[in-house]
Amino acid sequence: MTAAIEPRLVWPVAATLGEGPAWIGRENALWFVDIKGGRVHRYDPATDERQSFEVGGMPSFLVPAEGGRLLVGSVDGLYLLEDGKLTGPVAKIDMPAHNRTNDATVDPSGRLWVGTMDNEEEALTGAIHVFDAVDLRPVGGDCVITNGPAISADGGTIYHVDTLGRTIYRCDISSETSLAKGEVFVTIAEKDGHPDGVTLDSEGCLWVGLWGGWQVRRYAPDGTLLAIVAMPCANCTKVAFGGPDLRTGYVTTARKGLSEAELNGQPLAGGLFAFDAPAPGVALPEMRLPA
């Protein structure tokens, strides 16, 4: 039986393209981005403090980095967030000018896995890249819009998403940094929208936001659908787990692509939501930075 989980609004931030939520445990705060709004947001659930930083560009994700720092991907580069501004770049991604960074994660060894995509959402020029603080290189997953990736707690498995292909892949990366050893994990029916960002919890279950699908889903390791979070807006982008016990799921959403009439019917679109998770999440490792 599929469980139904109720979400609650925690910040009506009205993001154009809310994405990249990340719980930063050392701050006890959730950070996320508005890609098309050029903003980075910080939410402190203990105090309900809300901060927004105009950073420009197209910030697409944020992850913790060593030395108490935060790293943000934007357009074709990786930057540090310092005093509410992007500094750097730490590294640049070699890709077509019409591409940009999208989602990302950090593996247990501190490597950054970042997806790229065609900003016009047409050309087959997106891919997954890995940055190990020395080299930044593509490792597969070619598609128009990459999403995820998410990596298992032992670092041996990666899940990545071909959004327009409505497919989530699972690959064995235990022996090599490549997406060659892969299989289809789940496909999303056309009526249910497109799979967006993915996250793994402590039970190895995968959570995915559905763009145009009005929901977030939780899948078991064998691909069985376990739970649905029915959302009050269509474009659900990604889940991150936070709070002192990592039992609060946070969901970013988007207003992008919605007509005035559609926005009238879903006025909370672009908001940040939360729900009580059936299992804790996994803390995001810190990314290694160049020496």
Strand-pair partners of 72: 62, 79
Given a cut of 90, whether residue 123 has pLDDT beyond it is yes
**Annotated active-site positions, please?**
196
Checking phi first, is residue 198 left (phi over 0); if not, alpha (psi -120 to 50) or beta? beta
Average pLDDT over residues 266-287: 98
Given a cut of 90, whether residue 47 has pLDDT beyond it is yes
> pLDDT for 166-181, tens place per residue?
999 999 999 999 999 9
Strand-pair partners of 3: 227
Residue 141's pLDDT band, with cuts at 50, 70 and 90, is very high
| Assigned CATH topology for domain 3-276 | Neuraminidase (2.120.10)
Average pLDDT over residues 130-134: 97
User: Using alpha carbons only, what angle is made at residue 119 by residues 78 and 195, rounded to the nearest 5 degrees?
Assistant: 95
pLDDT of residue 283: 97
- Mean pLDDT for the chain overall: 98
Instruction: Kindly report the number of other CB atoms within 10 A of residue 152's CB atom.
Output: 19
> pLDDT for 218-264, tens place per residue?
999 999 999 999 999 999 999 999 999 999 999 999 999 999 999 99
pLDDT of residue 1: 80
